Amino acid sequence: MLFRKTDPIMREVIELDPAWSHSIFQSFYILPERRGLYPNRVFVRKTGAGPELFFETNSWGLKGPEPDGTKPVLAVWGDSVVFGHGRSWVEMLNDIQSNLCALNGGLEGDDPVNILRRMWEANQAYKVDVNIYFPGWHARPGYACDPPSDWMPNPMLADILPKVIEQKMPGKFILCTVPIWLTPAMMQQDVPAYFHPEGNITDTYFAFWGNLTYGKDLVLNIYRYMSERNDIVRGMASKYGVSLIDLDKRFAFSTMEKIREYFFDLCHFRPAIYGELSQILLDELKRLKVLT
C-alpha cells in the first residue's frame, strides 16, 4: 500500500491483486454493515503499460473528485448499476460538464432503503445541490431473485420514500427508474441463446445474473417485482411533484442485439456505453432545467 503525497488530502493507494476474489476486493472499499465506502482510497491495477487508475474515493466516501466548494455538487445514489466498473458513467459526467462536481453514491448490492439512508446522512453532513435516487435491484432481507414462493410486494420503499420527500432536503431531489429490458415480450425470444459467458464485460461477455440459472418463472417474478418498484417511483414523482428521469423507458429496446450492446447481464450497463449514458444523464438534467 502506498500514499499519494501530491493530493491536498492524503489518500491510501491500494494495488489490486488479480488473485483476490471479488469479496476480498470489496473488503478494501465497502465499510462494515454497508454504511458506505472507505474514504480517501485510490485503487490501481497493473497493465502492460504500467499502473492504471481503477477508481478512487474522496473524503466524503464517494467515488469521484474532491468537492472544493467552487462547483455545485451532484450525487447519484444507487446500487452496483450506479457504482459501475472502475470509473463509472456518473464520474464521467465531470468530463463533459466542467462546471459541476458529479459524485457516485453507488454501493454494490445495496437495497433501496439503505440507499436512502446513505443519501440522507450525506446530506446532513455535506452540501449536496442535486441528489438523484436510483432504487436499484436489491431488497433486504433477500434479493429480487428470491424464490417465487417467498415473493411479496415490498412495502418498505413505498412507506419510506414519501417520508424522505416530505423532509425536503436542502438540495434538489430527482427520482430515477430502473431499466428492465427482460420484459414478458422479450421472454418470447430464446434469450439463453444469446448468453456468452466467456470473455470480459467490456466486450463479449453476456449472461443472466451472476450465478443464477435462467428460468421463465424466475424472470417473470423479477420483472413483476421490479416493475412494481418503478411504479412506486413514478407514482411518488407524480404525487409529490418530484422530477423524474425514466431510464426504464429510455432503454426499452426491442432486440437482443441492442440489449447485448448496452448491457452485459440482466441489470448492468456495459462499460463501453458509459460515455453515452453520461450524455443521456446530462441531457436529462438540462431537460429538467437543473443545468443550463
Question: How many domains does the chain divide into?
Answer: 2
Q: Are residues 226 and 274 in the same domain?
A: yes
CA–centroid distance for 90 within its chain: 9
> What CA–CA distance (Å, rounded) separates 73 from 68?
10
Please list the rounded mean pLDDT of every run of 10 residues in the chain (292 residues).
53 90 93 90 86 93 95 97 96 96 96 92 95 88 40 64 89 96 92 92 91 89 91 96 97 94 96 97 96 74
Q: Are residues 33 and 97 in the same domain?
A: no
| CATH code (residue 267) | 3.40.50.1110
Asked whether the beta carbons of 92 and 85 are under 8 A apart, the reply is no
Q: Are residues 147 and 41 in the same domain?
A: no
> What CA–CA distance (Å, rounded) separates 217 from 220?
5
pLDDT computed for residue 291 by the predictor: 80
Q: Are residues 30 and 90 in the same domain?
A: no
Q: Are residues 175 and 216 in the same domain?
A: yes
pLDDT computed for residue 280 by the predictor: 97
C-alpha radius of gyration, the chain, whole number: 19
Name the residue range of residue 212's domain: 68-287
pLDDT computed for residue 155 by the predictor: 47
Q: Is the pTM of this model over 0.75?
A: yes
What residues have CB less than 8 Å from 162, skipping those under 6 apart? 236, 239, 240
Q: Are residues 170 and 263 in the same domain?
A: yes
pLDDT computed for residue 223 by the predictor: 92
